């Protein structure tokens, strides 16, 4: 496929419809992100850990159990409006340029594989809950960088200045990620690396095209861009996803120790929340710890905490069930057993 590069031009006239037609894939991705965010909000809140896990967040224990689809859904999930806004701005700034340069099919391939790559890197770094399009956005930054570098002879000084600006933006974002708590820097790096690698294969290359008159005499030679074919895009996407899946399977085999550590951490948080009578948080942490497949030494305590939290929240049937489970799994001390028995008696009236 041969066509002019849209790097230096945007939609020409037509107002909003022209803008939508110029970047259909970018707007589609943005719409999916917004709809997914609204679904999470209506389900209980996009910042609620349990809601995030239920609706597809990256969560190490579940991925280790074979739920590999959790590497895909977090690409379109966001934790709070601020998170959605922070990822939407660079998507709007760079997404349109990348889509017009690569074409919408290659844009989606880069965005998707970079997002999954970011989640794989994040999963390999730790089993905690995660979501967001930042890995995919970093992949777009990498793709734009690759495009400018491979075609620097065509764009001249524009490419050099843009490359310097992109390098500065990427470096600043990485430093922010390394020095700020709550930022998944591994997802950023994973998305940047995978997006750049896929972009090397899919990036349009500058070339020349000759035009001739009726008598076959050469009239002009013009610079053109040759975009990747659908077959190349499909092959690159499938190959990247297959490699990422193999990495995930390899990481999952060594996850038992990480899950045990995660369970201990979440159990400690649940106990701390219970001590300050934050029953909602205590119950939430207990649910997460149970999802991490704890061994028998934790089960009684976790079901006790979960049951007490449910009791305070008015979820009586669940509380009775979990308090009975706590007693059946066994509790390590007489005080915990007495607490479970007294609360159970209060709820059942016996």
The answer to whether 221 and 210 are in contact (CB under 8 A) is yes
| CA–CA separation, 49 and 51 (whole Å) | 5
177: nearest Cα among 215, 216, 125: 125
| CA–CA separation, 40 and 78 (whole Å) | 9
DSSP labels, 262-310: HHHHHHHHHHHHHHTT-HHHHHHHHHHHHHT---HHHHHHHHHHHHHHH
H or E stretch covering 226: strand 218-226
| CA–CA separation, 48 and 53 (whole Å) | 9
Active site residues: 134, 188
Q: Across-strand partners of 2?
A: 226
| β-sheet with 205-212: strand ranges across | 2-3, 218-226, 205-212
CA angle, corner 39, sides to 312 and 29, nearest 5? 145
DSSP labels, 127-160: -S-B--SHHHHHHHHHHHHHHHHHTHHHHTHHHH
């Amino acid at each position: 496929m041969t066509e002019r590069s849209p790097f230096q031009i945007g939609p020409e006239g037509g107002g909003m419809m022209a803008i939508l037609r110029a970047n259909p894939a970018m707007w589609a991705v943005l719409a999916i992100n917004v709809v997914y965010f609204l679904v999470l909000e209506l389900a209980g809140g996009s910042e609620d850990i349990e809601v995030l896990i239920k609706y597809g967040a990256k969560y190490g224990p579940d991925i280790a159990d074979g739920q590999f689809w959790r590497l895909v859904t977090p690409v379109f999930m966001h934790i709070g409006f601020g998170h959605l806004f922070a990822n939407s701005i660079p998507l709007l700034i760079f997404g349109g340029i990348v889509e017009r340069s690569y074409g919408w099919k290659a844009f989606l391939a880069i965005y998707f594989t970079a997002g999954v790559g970011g989640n794989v890197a994040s999963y390999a770094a730790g089993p905690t809950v995660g979501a967001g399009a930042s890995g995919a956005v970093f992949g777009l930054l990498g793709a734009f960088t690759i495009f400018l570098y491979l075609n620097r002879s065509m764009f001249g000084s524009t490419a050099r200045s843009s490359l310097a600006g992109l390098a500065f933006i990427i470096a600043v974002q990485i430093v922010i990620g390394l020095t700020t708590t709550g930022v998944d820097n591994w997802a950023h790096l994973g998305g940047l690396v995978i997006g750049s690698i896929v972009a090397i294969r899919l990036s349009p290359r500058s070339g020349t095209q000759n035009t001739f008159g009726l008598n076959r005499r050469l009239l002009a030679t013009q610079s053109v861009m040759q975009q990747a074919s659908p077959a190349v895009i499909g092959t690159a996407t499938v190959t990247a996803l297959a490699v990422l899946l193999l990495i995930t399977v390899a990481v999952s085999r060594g996850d038992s120790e990480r899950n045990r550590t995660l369970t201990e951490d979440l159990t400690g948080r649940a106990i701390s929340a219970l001590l300050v009578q934050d029953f909602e948080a205590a119950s939430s942490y207990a649910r997460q710890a149970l999802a991490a497949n704890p061994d028998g030494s934790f089960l009684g305590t976790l079901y006790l905490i979960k049951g007490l939290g449910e009791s305070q929240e008015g979820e009586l049937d669940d509380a009775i069930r979990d308090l009975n489970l706590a007693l059946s799994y066994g509790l390590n001390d007489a005080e915990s057993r007495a607490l479970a028995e007294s609360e159970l008696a209060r709820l059942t009236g016996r």
